[in-house]
């Protein structure tokens, strides 16, 4: 009996280890955030930077202790930048138990997924899906970028101001939800200013894409400028084809094409192109918050952030504000909390959502020059 | 029943002490083994990734060697058309070379292999090659960053070398073949091998999906080499990055170490458990031993102590065999001491009897002296010697009373003060010239003094009471005395108070004017190292005599 009593300390040590293991297993459950992002295809550069922005925000939130003690767990799914891919990604995330979704960098990928997710009361914050199709709808969809017809209007103002009167329009048909609304905005504004527009055949990202046909069609259209609502690959390739034919046209391009890859695909042929963009995170006049973000991004990813990273980071931070208000709960409570967001500090200024979950922000114009985008206004 | 052997218990203690170093040795062995396993794991990963980086570096160097040959031919004046055939042959022989371009100064495509008229004239100046500005110095060159093809998701890298005329030769490499080459190099199927560009993006990976989805390497920051441990939802990894010579890229080995870590953890766990068990076991044995030894020794000591205290019949069972002889010796010694003590007691009793007899005889002799003096007094009851004779009789009686008490006592070395004083005052009460009307004697019970102090004390008491009787009669002729004895601050104090007319003044120090009694009392006080004083009572009429001396131990 005495010997058995001497086993007490050993039993105590084993019990302590077991208790520690049980306590560790009782750690607060992580909050799963779904991240549907286009990581393949021509616009994947935007998706890649967008995902990085979300990752960076989540890492900062987790490093600061998470939300109500719960860590953020990101589940990234490739939405293939297509409506079907987006819907499949939404299905995977909804069935995987995501609390909310931050992603869908393109309007096309979001187009079918929004209704699916809204039916399941899953809040979606899209950094850059800017199609007018999502305007003024009372659903679970929020976005951090303004409506994209404003992109077209801004380009039309600039083209008209430069004296162009006949614009040829080309768009990428795989993301038509976005691209067509840009061109509609352009058309409305350009024609209001007395200009004429000619619609060329659309393009699609594919090896067989005949950008030469676009160049030839443009040459035959009699237009004095070309408006491109397409990816940087599309825009760069069209510019190459125009240059090869000695028909270097003044190019006006939507925000989608405003990535450094434009210079890879277009080389010097894209010099002089006018593009729409949001606040430039690597510009010298970037605000302190934006500069801090750009620095943290560069330290983590070895390169400067693209605009999509800025919007994606802000989307994750806005979601964080909502989740803090609901202590990690999603659904209707999160929707109400987000609709109540007013003046949340963002990288490009304060963030507020209107009654439909849309945010309105100014766009800026840039000109491609020597491998860089220089701010016009 | 035979007692256990102390040596066996000692041996148990020794074992307990030996277990502790064994536990330490167990721990050291456990840690060493796990460190060795860990070192082996790290070593194998390091050597593997370094050889992969070396091989990959050679691959890219090989591409550049080809380019340098073309550049040398072109700079040497070889015509573009003549070179086209050579380039085409090279391109066809290497799957990883998708295209080779000769670019004119400014970056436009002058020649493409395989031939593609659609590419000629295309502006490739947007592709920046590290270490080479297109249109820059001849002979220099480098690699572009990696591009993910928007068409098929493959990763493309451009390698280029400058020409003297400002143009360049550029090779478009498909890194998909490198990914295919990495897969079979893995030690285990769970491991991963990757090449990352300077930004930390995967440009080749044993799992091509990581490249297709443009994932980033997460164990290190951009451009960082070395070794890391990483844990994610898929397992625990030992990650090692090595630079690929001639490029800004890195090769990284991801060793999935869950199984190895489990083995190491098990080794450490077992070592820890063994060590813990050893420590606990040693502590239990040691404590048990210590407790048993202390208990046995305490019981044995208590037995010996009771013998030492005189319980010679006490039985002291030996707790251990080794102490049996000691136990027997103590018992023998106890027997011997008991025998000797009995003899001594007998001798002492005999001597005490003798001493009592002497005291009896002394007392009888003193009684005879008293009788003789009484006879003498009877012859001359009113003679001038009557008073001195009475005083002498009283004094001799006081002395004889001490011897009477001693021979009647059990102890021959002490006299009970209260008993002695009581008997003496009682005697005096009858022996003085007339009866005492009241004597109030107060003496503390149990106070004893040795015989050599009892005699002067008794004489002083006799003198003071006689004196008080003689000179302290009340105005009504009665004799009321109070005799009190107390022990105060180590002194025995005798106070005799009368109710007589009181002293006009204290007797002089030399005793003159008070006769022999006062002189005698002073002498007795001096003999005992004490003092005597007479004062007029403050609480009434009469005199108070105080006789004090240090109480002998």
SS (H, E, C) B7-54: HHHHHHHHHHHHHHHHHHHHHHHHHHHHHHHHHHHHHHHHHHHHHHHH
- According to the model, what pLDDT value does residue B436 have? 63
pLDDT tens for B386-399 read 888 888 898 999 89
Supply the mean pLDDT for chain A.
Answer: 86
Chain A positions in Cβ-Cβ contact with residue B268 (cut-off 8 Å)? none
Examine the pLDDT at B437 and tell me if it is beyond 80: no
Q: Tell me the pLDDT band of A377, cut-offs 50, 70 and 90.
A: low
- According to the model, what pLDDT value does residue A88 have? 96
Q: Tell me the pLDDT band of A297, cut-offs 50, 70 and 90.
A: very high
Q: Are A116 and A91 in contact (CB under 8 A)?
A: yes
Examine the pLDDT at A66 and tell me if it is beyond 70: yes
CA dist B164 and A258 (Å) reads: 35
Q: What percentage of chain B has pLDDT greater than the value 70?
A: 94
- According to the model, what pLDDT value does residue A26 have? 52
Integer angstrom CA distances of residue A173 from A47, A213, B279: 18, 16, 76
pLDDT tens for B175-231 read 888 888 888 888 888 899 999 988 888 989 999 888 888 888 878 877 788 888 888
Q: Name which of A275-289, A295-309, B130-144 the model is least confident about.
A: B130-144
- Cβ-Cβ pairs closer than 8 A, A with B, add up to 87
The three-state DSSP-derived secondary structure of B216-283 is ECCCCCCCCCEEEEEEECCEEEEEEEEECCCCCCEEEEEEECHHHHHHHHHHHHHHHHHHHHHHHHHH
Chain B positions in Cβ-Cβ contact with residue A266 (cut-off 8 Å)? 123, 126
CA dist A244 and B175 (Å) reads: 29
Examine the pLDDT at B140 and tell me if it is beyond 80: no
pLDDT tens for A242-279 read 998 888 789 999 999 998 889 988 989 999 999 998 87
Give the H/E segment covering residue B488.
strand B480-488
- According to the model, what pLDDT value does residue A15 have? 46
Q: Which of A75-89, A336-350, B256-270, B291-305 has the highest mean pLDDT?
A: A75-89
ipTM for the predicted complex: 0.76
- According to the model, what pLDDT value does residue B511 have? 45
- According to the model, what pLDDT value does residue A319 have? 95
CA B280, B286, B292, B295: dihedral to nearest 10 degrees? Answer: -110
Q: Tell me the pLDDT band of B509, cut-offs 50, 70 and 90.
A: low
Q: Name which of A117-126, A199-208, B51-60 the model is least confident about.
A: A199-208
Q: What are phi and psi of B491, to 5 degrees?
A: -115, 145
Q: Name which of A155-159, A161-165, B2-6, B419-423 the model is least confident about.
A: B2-6
Please give the distance of CA A140 from its chain centroid, rounded to a whole number.
17
Partner residue opposite A244 with nearest CB, options B122, B126, B153: B122
Q: Tell me the pLDDT band of A10, cut-offs 50, 70 and 90.
A: very low
Q: What percentage of chain A has pLDDT greater than the value 70?
A: 88
- According to the model, what pLDDT value does residue A368 have? 94
Examine the pLDDT at B541 and tell me if it is beyond 60: yes
- According to the model, what pLDDT value does residue A170 have? 95
Q: Which residue in A128, A216, A209 sits closest to A168, CA to CA?
A: A216
Peptide bond connecting B114 to the previous residue in cis, omega within 30 degrees of 0: yes
Cβ distance of A13 and B213 shorter than 8 Å? no
Chain A positions in Cβ-Cβ contact with residue B222 (cut-off 8 Å)? 299-302
Q: Tell me the pLDDT band of B313, cut-offs 50, 70 and 90.
A: confident
Examine the pLDDT at A141 and tell me if it is beyond 70: yes
- According to the model, what pLDDT value does residue A9 have? 42
Q: Which residue in A319, A368, A367, A362 sits closest to A344, CA to CA?
A: A319
- According to the model, what pLDDT value does residue B433 have? 63
Cβ distance of A205 and B151 shorter than 8 Å? yes
CA angle B195, B196, B198 (to 5 degrees): 140
Partner residue opposite A301 with nearest CB, options B121, B124, B199: B199
Q: Which residues of A121-130 are buried (b: 16+ CB within 10 A; e: fewer)?
A: ebbbbbbbbb
- According to the model, what pLDDT value does residue A280 have? 67
Using beta carbons and an 8 Å cutoff, which residues of A are at the interface with B? 2-3, 6-7, 9-10, 13, 39-42, 44, 47-48, 51-52, 76, 78, 205-207, 212, 231, 233, 236, 240, 243-244, 261, 263-269, 299-303, 371
pLDDT tens for A177-217 read 889 999 999 999 999 999 999 999 888 865 456 888 999 99
More confident residue, A68 or A10: A68
- According to the model, what pLDDT value does residue B138 have? 55
Q: Are B549 and B487 in contact (CB under 8 A)?
A: no
Cβ distance of B150 and A231 shorter than 8 Å? yes
pLDDT tens for B462-490 read 999 888 888 888 888 788 888 889 988 88
Examine the pLDDT at A119 and tell me if it is beyond 70: yes
């Amino acid at each position: 009996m005495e010997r058995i009593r001497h086993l007490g300390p050993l039993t105590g040590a084993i019990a302590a280890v077991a208790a520690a293991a049980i306590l560790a297993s009782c750690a607060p459950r992580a909050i799963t955030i779904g991240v549907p992002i286009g990581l393949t295809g021509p616009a994947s550069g935007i998706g890649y930077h967008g995902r990085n922005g979300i990752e960076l925000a989540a890492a900062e939130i987790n490093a600061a202790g998470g939300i109500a003690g719960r860590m953020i767990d990101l589940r990234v799914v490739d939405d293939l930048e297509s409506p079907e891919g987006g819907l499949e990604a939404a299905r995977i995330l909804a069935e995987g138990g995501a609390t909310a979704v931050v992603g869908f960098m393109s309007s096309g990928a979001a187009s079918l997924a929004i209704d699916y997710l809204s039916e399941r009361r899953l809040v979606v914050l899209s950094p850059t899906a800017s199609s007018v199709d999502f305007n003024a709808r009372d659903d679970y969809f929020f976005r951090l970028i303004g409506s994209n017809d404003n992109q077209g209007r801004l380009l039309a103002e600039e083209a008209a101001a430069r004296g162009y009167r006949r614009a040829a329009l080309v768009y990428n048909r795989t993301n038509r939800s976005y691209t067509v609304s840009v061109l509609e905005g352009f058309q409305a504004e350009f024609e209001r200013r007395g200009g004429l527009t000619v619609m060329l055949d659309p393009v699609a990202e594919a090896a067989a894409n005949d950008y030469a046909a676009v160049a030839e069609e443009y040459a035959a259209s009699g237009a004095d400028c070309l408006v491109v609502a397409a990816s940087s690959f599309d825009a760069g390739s069209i510019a190459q084809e125009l240059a090869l034919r000695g028909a270097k046209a003044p190019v006006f391009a939507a925000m989608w094409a405003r990535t450094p890859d434009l210079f890879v695909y277009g080389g010097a042929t894209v010099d002089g192109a006018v593009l729409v963009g949001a606040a430039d995170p690597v510009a010298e006049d970037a605000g302190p918050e934006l500069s801090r973000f750009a620095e943290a991004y560069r330290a983590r990813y070895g390169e400067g952030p693209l605009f999509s990273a800025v919007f994606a980071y802000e989307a994750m931070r806005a979601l964080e504000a909502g989740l803090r208000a609901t202590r990690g709960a999603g659904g209707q409570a999160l929707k109400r909390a987000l609709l109540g967001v007013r003046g949340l500090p963002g990288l490009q200024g304060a963030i507020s959502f209107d009654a439909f979950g849309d945010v309105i922000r100014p766009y800026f114009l840039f000109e491609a020059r020597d491998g860089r985008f220089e701010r016009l206004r | 029943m035979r007692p256990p052997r102390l040596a066996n218990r000692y041996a148990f203690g020794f074992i307990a002490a030996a277990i502790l170093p064994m536990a330490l040795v167990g721990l050291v062995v456990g840690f060493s083994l796990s460190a060795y396993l860990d070192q082996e794991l790290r070593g194998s990963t390091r050597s593997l990734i370094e050889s992969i980086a070396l091989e990959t570096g050679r691959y890219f160097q090989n591409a550049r060697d080809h380019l340098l040959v073309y550049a040398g031919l072109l700079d040497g004046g070889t015509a573009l058309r003549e070179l086209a055939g050579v380039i085409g042959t090279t391109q066809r022989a290497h799957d990883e070379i998708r295209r080779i371009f000769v670019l004119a100064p400014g970056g436009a495509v002058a020649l493409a292999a395989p031939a593609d008229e659609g590419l000629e004239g295309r502006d490739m100046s947007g592709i920046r090659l590290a270490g080479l500005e297109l249109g820059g110095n001849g002979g220099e060159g480098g690699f572009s960053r990696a591009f993910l093809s928007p068409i098929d998701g493959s990763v493309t890298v451009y390698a280029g070398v400058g020409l003297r005329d400002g143009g360049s030769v550029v090779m478009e490499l498909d890194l998909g073949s490198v990914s295919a080459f990495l897969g079979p190099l893995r030690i285990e199927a769970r491991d991963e091998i990757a090449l990352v560009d300077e930004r930390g993006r995967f440009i080749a990976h044993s799992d091509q999906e990581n490249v297709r989805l443009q994932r980033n390497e997460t164990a290190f920051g951009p451009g960082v080499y070395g070794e890391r441990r990483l844990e994610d939802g898929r397992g625990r990894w030992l990650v090692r990055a090595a630079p690929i010579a001639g490029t800004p890229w890195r090769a990284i080995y991801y060793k999935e170490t869950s199984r190895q870590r489990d083995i190491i953890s098990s080794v450490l766990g077992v070592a820890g458990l063994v060590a813990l068990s050893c420590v606990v076991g040693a502590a239990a044995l040691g404590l048990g031993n210590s407790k048993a030894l202390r208990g046995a020794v305490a019981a044995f000591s208590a037995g010996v102590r009771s013998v030492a205290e005189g319980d010679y019949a006490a039985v002291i069972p030996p707790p251990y065999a080794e102490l049996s002889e000691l136990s027997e010796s103590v018992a023998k010694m106890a027997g011997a001491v008991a025998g000797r003590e009995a003899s001594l007691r007998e001798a002492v009793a005999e001597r005490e009897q003798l001493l009592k007899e002497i005291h009896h005889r002394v007392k009888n002799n003193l009684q005879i002296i008293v009788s003789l003096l009484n006879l003498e007094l009877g012859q001359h009851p009113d003679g001038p010697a009557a008073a001195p004779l009475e005083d002498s009789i009283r004094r001799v009686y006081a002395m004889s009373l001490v011897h009477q008490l001693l021979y009647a006592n059990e102890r021959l070395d002490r006299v009970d003060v209260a008993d002695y004083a009581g008997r003496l005052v009682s005697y005096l009460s009858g022996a003085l010239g007339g009866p005492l009307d009241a004597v109030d004697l107060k003496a503390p019970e149990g106070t004893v003094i040795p015989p050599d102090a009892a005699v002067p004390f008794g004489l002083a008491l006799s003198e003071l009471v006689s004196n008080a009787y003689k000179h302290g009669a009340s105005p009504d002729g009665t004799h009321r005395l109070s005799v009190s004895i107390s022990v105060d601050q180590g002194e025995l104090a005798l106070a005799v108070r009368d109710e007589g007319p009181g002293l006009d003044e204290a007797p002089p120090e030399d005793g003159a004017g008070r006769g022999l009694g006062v002189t005698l009392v002073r002498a007795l006080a001096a003999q005992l190292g004490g003092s005597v004083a007479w004062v007029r009572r403050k609480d009434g009429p009469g005199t108070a005599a105080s006789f004090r001396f240090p109480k002998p131990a």
